[in-house]
Structure 1
Amino acid sequence: MTNTQTTTNILMVDDNPGDVGLVRQVVENVRGIVLHVAHNVTQAHAFLMKMPPYDIAPVPDVIFLDLRMPKLPGYNVIPLVRREPLLRNVKIVMLTSSSLPSHRAQCDALGADDYVVKPGDWEQWQATITRALTRHGIPIHADDGHRATNA
C-alpha cells in the first residue's frame, strides 16, 4: 500500500469456504483492507481481466492463491498476472496446504512472490496472514474499517 493509497485490495482465490472465512477473520478489523474472493481460477481470471461482472473490480495489491482447486490448479493464475502490464507488480502469495518442494519450485519458477503453507489453527492463521502481508509492505493496524466482497 503506497502513501497515497488508502485501500489495500486483497484477492483470495480459494475453493475452501473455511479457509476463506479464516482469512476474512484475520483482516476484518484491519483498517484499509478490502478482501475480494474468487472461488476458482475462472472467477479469478474474470476478476483480474475486469470481465463482466467484474468490470469495475480493482487491481489487487496482493493475491492469496490456493494451489489445489477443482478443474484448474491455482498456479495457472501466475502467468496471467505476470504477463499483464497492469498486474505485474501485484504480489502473489501462494497460500496452500501443499508442502511439497516440487510445488514450491514450480510456483517460484512461474513468478510467485511467496509460498506459505496453510497453518493448522486460528492463532497460526492469524500470525501467518499478518506475516505475509507485512512481508509485502502492507501494514497491519486493527480497526473496524473492513469490507469483504465475493468475486
Structure 2
Amino acid sequence: MKKKLNILLIEDDFIEVMKMNRTITSLYLPHNIIEATNGQEAMEVLQQTSQLPDIILLDLHMPKINGTEFLEMLKSKPELRHIPVIILTTSENHKDLMECYKIGISGYIVKPLKYEDYVEKIRVVFDYWRINELINI
C-alpha cells in the first residue's frame, strides 16, 4: 500500500493546480492536496491546521507573498522549518535556484512543457518522499 502524503501546493495558476490534481489522479496516488494561491494564504493554512503537511510544493512567482518570501518566513519558524519544500516553477534562472537552496529547500524542479514529462517528474518526487524516513516518523 502506498503511503498517503499530505501535500501543501502553493500555486496561483488555476491551470497548474488542475494539472497537479489530474496528475495525481492519473497516477492513482492516494495523496491529499491542500491548496493555497500565495504565500500569505499558505501561512494561514499552516497556522490553522492541526496536521502539518508532509511536503510543500511551492511556486516562486505569486502575488502578495512570493515563493522566496514564503520560504524565508517558513524557515524562520522552528515549528515549521523541518517541512521539506520542493520548488515547482517555470524559472530556469540560476540565481533563483541558488537563492532557494541557500534558504533551505529540499528540491528544485522546473515545470516541463510536455504533460508526460511533468507527470514523470511528479511521480518521481512523490515516490521519493513517500519512502523518505523523515515522512515516516
Q: Normalized against structure 2, the TM-score is what?
A: 0.84
- Equivalent residue, structure 1, for 2:10: 13
**Larger CA deviation: 97-106 vs 79-88:** 79-88
- Equivalent residue, structure 2, for 1:104: 97
- 2:71 equivalent to 1:78: yes
Aligned length: 127
Decide whether the 8 Å contact of 2:84 with 2:106 is kept in 1: yes
Partners of 1:73 and 1:117 in 2: how far apart?
Answer: 17
Q: 1:138 aligns with which of 115, 130, 135?
A: 130
Q: Which amino acid aligns with 1:11?
A: L
Q: Which amino acid aligns with 2:20?
A: V
- Pairwise mapping of residues 11-90 of structure 1 onto structure 2 (< 5 A)? 11-28=8-25, 29-31=28-30, 33-50=31-48, 56=49, 58-90=51-83
Structure 2: tracts of 5 or more residues without a match: 132-137
Classify 1:57/1:16 alpha carbon distance in 2 versus 1 (closer, same or farther; 3 Å).
farther
SS in 2 for 1:78: helix
Larger RCO (alpha carbons 8 Å, 6+ apart):
1
Stretches of 4+ moved more than 6 A in 1? none
RMSD between aligned residues: 1.6
Q: Which amino acid aligns with 1:21?
A: M
CA apart distance, 1:119: 1.1
Decide whether the 8 Å contact of 1:22 with 1:125 is kept in 2: no
